[in-house]
A and B are shown apart, each in its own frame.
Chain A
């Protein structure tokens, strides 16, 4: 029962999009290596999610089912997956690169004296796995050596989930041995910090500001630009970490995901955690002094220059165009 195994993650009873993207990556890998691709659905009640997974072209779906997997803990998930992987000895295990996977997959790989190749953005012949370095300024080609199992996790949006062929796979159940006392951490139910009063997800125009603004006192510069455009103001994480703008205006994997007509990024270098939040934008404009900033890899239009010169000029040009 070797091959490529893809771990699918459940959210509110459904398999999330990024898990289907991981399955697409698994298929690409399976095709390259001539290996069958199967899916794993861990949880306490995996009936529905396993049935959903079985509609995709996979060799089989295995439900790793146990009441102690109802709520995620690193201990229970690591233990359950470890027991299953020892029973099948796969060549590759593919995960979606979620916060949950980041919390346990490195420990799981360590139990096999392996390293997770995390946050993979592309697959090439070899297999060679590509991931970003230095917050997107460079990319690295990684290779796993020695016999499997090899572990990798796939970045959101890197593989196309909409082209997965459909089929009807068989479903099996694997019951791990987990005791309550083996779970050392006790998580609470998730909560939101405060009522979300700003919904940026439907904003048609967004001006977003990053570290390049240097100080909170310089914010009026971008506020005036946003006002001239009639746009919502948003920010990258460091701005909200510093408390210069409220966290509800934060864009990226830890904040909001947006899909405006126009996303104007001011002084944002474009770390991947930020870029995943703006992928749906119709038009991206970047203003940055660093011509090598990764934001220019996704921008439609760019101005390389000092934002303290460019932003006031742009505000003036917009006002002039309106009058």
Chain B
């Protein structure tokens, strides 16, 4: 009875999430943004010729007017385009699907970590995610970031396996490695998250089994999938999306403002510290989470942020 009730609750939430993500997907948001069009066009091109718009066969990075974006979303979009034809709906379909699946994965994570004392809190949390304007917005456009997010949270789900089974390690490695092909930010995040997890795993076992079979096999799988990307590590295509990482020129400008009594290297460190912490805390600011949308008009809805303004009250409590 308990499982039936649990199943009904989560099914209803996922259905609501799916409705909010799939309803009039080809019409809302209006128009077809250039990045979405590039994905759709390249996917159609792969389907017909096996080559992208620059006649490059199965590239690791899509050149796409100098963007050199991650290719996984485009490759997978060939499937809906093959079935439904080259339409706005088929280009956005995968993102909406990933957004809907992520509701389920987040619920599974909550169940696994057993975070909340009240059993209904996990349903409420998933419901809030399902109706979050941020999640809905990114699920309704062809955004690769949404797919990468699904892969990362899926990997987290498997990494949280209490029994630490081999297949959980392997699946986590696969998802994490694939996520780096889905969106450029994951190329950095995964290389912090995965070693971090393995480090704590080894520490937890008090270094008795440093070369654990599970770690070795999962690392092998992870790096095997990474080979195409690692081969291109030094290429301009790989580094293209890393421009601006660690704030680039901003740090130099800020460091130049500091009076010269402090050694140059330290001024860079101070400027970086201030920039990093200001960005870090700005993210958790209620103004950012509940009121101001993304300053980039392409990536947000005016006057709607990650959550609805009324959600601030439970957040502060």
- Report if A and B associate in a common complex: no
Residues in B lying within 8 Å of A, measured CB to CB: none
A residues lining the B interface (CB < 8 Å): none
